Amino acid sequence: MPALVVAATALAAALPQQGVLVPGESLGGLRLGATRAQVTATWGDDYGVCRSCPRTTWYFTYRRFEPQGAGVELRQGRVAALFTLWQPAGWRTTRGLRLGDQASRVRALYGPLPRTRCAGYEALTLRRGRTSTVFYVLRDEVWGFGLLRAGLRPCRE
């Protein structure tokens, strides 16, 4: 019986196939401030480590060496930023905005938002308290979501 429990736990801890962004609260079931242990308990321990990132950053992808998935930036052992990678299919917000939607839907659902120009894309930022929710736009299409501690730059370069 214990082997079955371990196997069930391992299956449960994985990047969600259809992640949800709850603006100002969570992305894919994770919250800002989560510990390393909480990240691996939620998304599993099958991640890659960014070698060129200035801060500890983990990449969780659906297939090894394929870009679709999500990332976690850690500062002092806690999650400071969560973001999707390469427009993973099936991700949406609680208001029904989906990756792949036209950028105009962001404004329709969340109102006009400040825009930051990043390297090759734009970031639309919804600020609430100590949290920034980011909608990444590429060629007028919603390409990704992010949830960041307030004060962090929205670009994920």
In a domain, 155, yes or no: no
In a domain, 107, yes or no: yes
Range of the domain at 80: 2-149
Summary mean pLDDT of the chain: 91
In a domain, 117, yes or no: yes
pTM check: above 0.75: yes
Split into its structural domains, the chain has a count of 1
CATH number of the domain within which 107 lies: 2.60.460
In a domain, 46, yes or no: yes
In a domain, 123, yes or no: yes
Query: What is the per-residue pLDDT across 79-112, written as a single tens digit (0 to 9) for each?
Result: 999 999 999 999 999 999 999 999 999 999 999 9
Query: What is the per-residue pLDDT across 57-81, written as a single tens digit (0 to 9) for each?
Result: 999 999 887 889 999 999 999 999 9
In a domain, 157, yes or no: no
- Would you place residue 12 in the very low, low, confident or very high pLDDT band (cuts 50, 70, 90)? low
In a domain, 22, yes or no: yes
The string of DSSP letters for 7-73 reads: HHHHHHSS--TT-EEETTTEETTEETT-BHHHHHHHH-S--EE-SS-SSEEEEEESSTT---EEEEE
In a domain, 73, yes or no: yes
